[in-house]
Structure 1
Amino acid sequence: MNIGEAAKASGVSAKMIRHYESLGLFAEAARTAAGYRRYGDKEIGTLRFIRQARDLGFPLEQIRALLGLWQNRRRSSRQVKALAQAHIDALEAKLAELQAMKATLEHLVRGCDGDDRPDCPIIEALGSGRAAVAHRAPAGRPHP
């Protein structure tokens, strides 16, 4: 199938397929005599794997490692689990950061009357540096 058909079958856009090829994350497709890319079931499976990993938020380098493990039938599940756990840890840290940002914004919004007057404590806090988010380390982990 051509790149458009591969995109439809895998759920990965043609642009992203080309991008993954340029990064070496996905092997360059075989080409027809006219230079068109051709994809088979194996490539579609790989693209679906990449899409699923991206949907779970794995960064490209971890996806590269996961692809290597997926293709290595002699892998240990310990390696896969370690990668997944590292991603969970990163997500937890990001979630804590987002929660702190939300709490800061909620505090600022509560302090604003939101009326027709030009004075605004949100703008004042942003301009003065008082809107800085208090970064909290997740429970049980030291603050970097």
Structure 2
Amino acid sequence: MDLKLRQCFLAVDDHDKALYFYRDVLGLEVRNDVSFEGMRWLTVGSPLQPDVEIVLEPPGASPDASPADRELMARLLAKGMLRGVIFTTADCDALHERVREAGAEVLQEPMNQPYGVRDCAFRDPAGNLLRFMERSDDTAGA
């Protein structure tokens, strides 16, 4: 099969804060900024991966979501209970310092993992988990 990842979705409760974080702190490109029926979607991606995008959407944005479903999604987002994404980087420590200085909530300082990566973790302004990993032969077995 010829399959490739094209888009993944993260719920955000404040698109302006998300825009600042993903564009200005992480350095992702804004590919779309769309308003529709009182909602807003941002699409961002790495300049190094022009065919992969992260869609930042309102909690419970599905047209089939009931008001109760949307409220539940908003509460789960506020608790940081929704899934996130994992990025790779050439320098985990430098990225960690830049994101920490921007005021993001630190979940894990950079550390060598026994499975061969050095990684750190943050929450974005909406509470989504973001991990940043650096592959290195030096981290194996650390």
TM-score computed with the length of structure 2 as normaliser: 0.24
Q: Which has the higher contact order (CA 8 A, sep 6+)?
A: 2
Instruction: Give the greater-gyration-radius structure (CA).
Output: 1
More helix by share: 1
